[in-house]
Amino acid sequence: MAALFSIVFLTLLALTTGMRVWLALRQLRHVAAHRATVPAEFAERIDLADHQKAADYSRAKIRLGIIELTVDALLLLLFTFGGLLTAFDQFWRDIFAGAGYTHGLALFASVSVAGFCVSLPFSLYRTFSLEAHFGFNKMTPGLYVADLLKQLLLTVLIGVPLLLAVLWLMGAMGERWWLYVWAAWLGFNLLVLLLYPTFIAPLFNKFTPLAEGEMKTRIEALLARCGFASSGEEDSPGRPKSLPAPPGGRAERSEGFGGGIYVMDGSKRSAHGNAYFTGFGRAKRIVFFDTLLDKLAPGEVEAVLAHELGHYKHRHVWKRIAVMAALSLALLWLLGQVIDQSWFYEGLKVGTGGTAQNSAMSTAMALILFSLVLPVFTFPFTPLMSWLSRRHEFEADAYAARQANGNELIAALVKLYRDNAATLTPDPLFSLFYDSHPPASQRIAHLRTVSL
Ligand SMILES: [Zn+2]
């Protein structure tokens, strides 16, 4: 059984890596083949120099991606068949005289540090060479280091208690531990989603309420049309409606959760522009990057805002949570099945025999090993998730066309593509597989049909 699992794993790893490289090569070729001319439908709004910059930028990112995914596959092999995980495990067992919680934390930390060391050169090259070459990087080395330190602190503050809770549940809850871990994981994700917009994102960026000025009446009319109370009054499932209003009324109540429409100083790190919708309940936020806002006319801002409101109206955050919840339940159940199978560890050449059940293998090791090899098995589902995401984009676009103006959204999208140097000519198969947003031409064609 162990030998069979080895073969299955190695075959799938080779297939997924091969498939990813093949898709990337297709994308490289397709973008290069369409570099010479701007697609006819964009010819009026995007000039050749911008189109060629987008092609070169896309290709540079893909080339780096090919190297990175190859290195990642090799690292996975090093962890498993190369014996690195077993070495870490043995090292910390010797230090801590066994496999308790400190051993578990140390094992997670060493795997994370190894992964960080491998990804750091890519991140540095991406930020300070690739992005800088195309004029996008605004990050200073000082800011880069400060970001890293903040991320490290957050990872420790949030990750350590979560990890300890999961390890404890795995050990203490008997056969059905995966159900308890799933509930904890779900609760944790909801908590992060609630806290992220108001307490975590502001550690990295400054958020200021959208300056209303000349757009004020426009935006308020749109919000009223869409029934969106920016402090989240009407959208808290399960929250009793009859609660007496605290002194100061609504503004007071939403304080601390800071829902609403904000502008983020994205220009601090990058010239790329974007807008997004996040959070739920009173914490829900629509965020515009200052870099995007600078370039849009008031009608275009309104259309982009309407698109983001569309995500909210169609409850896309909740739908994503539901999908995530179902997937993580299935995966944790699966971990519950393999955790006591010796073929799982022997097949991946980890440990010195035994399973988590007879404690020759620690639960921490089982958890790490499972999460390391999981992407190899979930890769075939990538297109499904991308498809779902693109469907949500179409829905939000249709909503924006109804509530605002489809042509203004098209104008905003074209600017977004041009200024972010996003390719207008992706390889269809690559796009089908990975793209969370429909390709520009499809998105605009769809907007034209719903705007009629
Ligand atoms: Zn969207």
Among 237-241, 309-313, 364-368, 430-434, the minimum mean pLDDT is found in: 237-241
> What is the per-residue pLDDT across 145-193, written as a single tens digit (0 to 9) for each?
999 999 999 999 999 999 999 999 998 998 999 999 999 999 999 999 8
Cα–Cα distances in angstroms (integers) from residue 292 to residues 267, 274, 282, 304, in the given order:
9, 6, 25, 10
Residue 267 near residue 284, CB atoms below 8 Å: no
Q: How far apart are CA 176 and CA 168, in angstroms?
A: 13
Cα of 437 to ligand 1 centre, how many Å?
A: 7
How far is ligand 1, taken at its centre, from the CA of residue 57, in Å? 23
* Residue 208 CB contacts under 8 Å (≥ 6 apart), including other chains: 262, 263
Report how far residue 62's alpha carbon sits from residue 57's, in angstroms, rounded to the nearest whole number.
9
Q: Which residues contact 102 (CB under 8 A, 6 or more apart)?
A: 92, 96
Ligand 1 centre to CA of 299 (Å) is 17
Strands 207-209 and 275-278: unpaired
Maximum pairwise Cα distance, the chain: 71
Mean pLDDT, residues 65-85 taken together: 97
pLDDT at 212: 66
How many CA atoms lie less than 13 Å away from 376 in the CB half-sphere? Answer: 22
What average pLDDT is seen over the chain? 89
The helix or strand, by DSSP H or E, that contains position 263, with its residue range, turns out to be strand 260-264
Average pLDDT over residues 28-45: 95
pLDDT digits (tens, 9 = 90+) for 207-234: 998 876 777 778 888 888 888 765 544 4
To 10 degrees, what angle do helices 406-419 and 382-403 make? 130
Distance 135 CA to ligand 1 centre (A): 25
Say how many Å lie between the CA of residue 406 and the centre of ligand 1: 14
Rounded distance from Cα 59 to ligand 1 centre (Å): 24
Contact by Cβ (8 Å): 247, 253: no
Tokens of 68: 């990175």
Q: How far is CA 53 from CA 36, 233, 332, in A?
A: 11, 45, 44
Q: What is the dihedral of CA 354, 355, 361, 362, to 10 degrees?
A: -160
| Distance between CA atoms of residues 115 and 94, nearest Å | 23
Q: Measured in angstroms, how far is the CA atom of residue 393 from the centroid of ligand 1?
A: 5
Lowest mean pLDDT among 250-264, 271-285, 427-441: 250-264
Q: How far is Cα 52 from Cα 33, in angstroms, rounded to an integer?
A: 11
CA of 307 to the centre of ligand 1 (A): 6
**In the numeric block, which tokens belong to residue 303?**
């259309």
| Ligand 1 center from residue 199 Cα (angstroms) | 23
Cα-to-centroid distance, 410 and ligand 1 (Å): 13
Give distance in angstroms: CA of 409 to centre of ligand 1: 11
Q: Say what percent of the chain tops pLDDT 70.
A: 91
Calculate how far, in angstroms, residue 390's C-alpha sits from the geometric centre of ligand 1.
9
Distance 97 CA to ligand 1 centre (A): 51
CA 316–ligand 1 middle distance (angstroms): 10
SS3 for 71-138 is HHHHHHHHHCCCCHHHHHHHHHHHHHCCCCHHHHHHHHHHHHHHHHHHHHHHHHHHHHHHHHHCCCEC
Q: Are 374 and 335 in contact (CB under 8 A)?
A: no
Please give the distance, rounded to the nearest whole angstrom, from the Cα atom of residue 108 to the centre of ligand 1: 35
* DSSP for residue 275: E
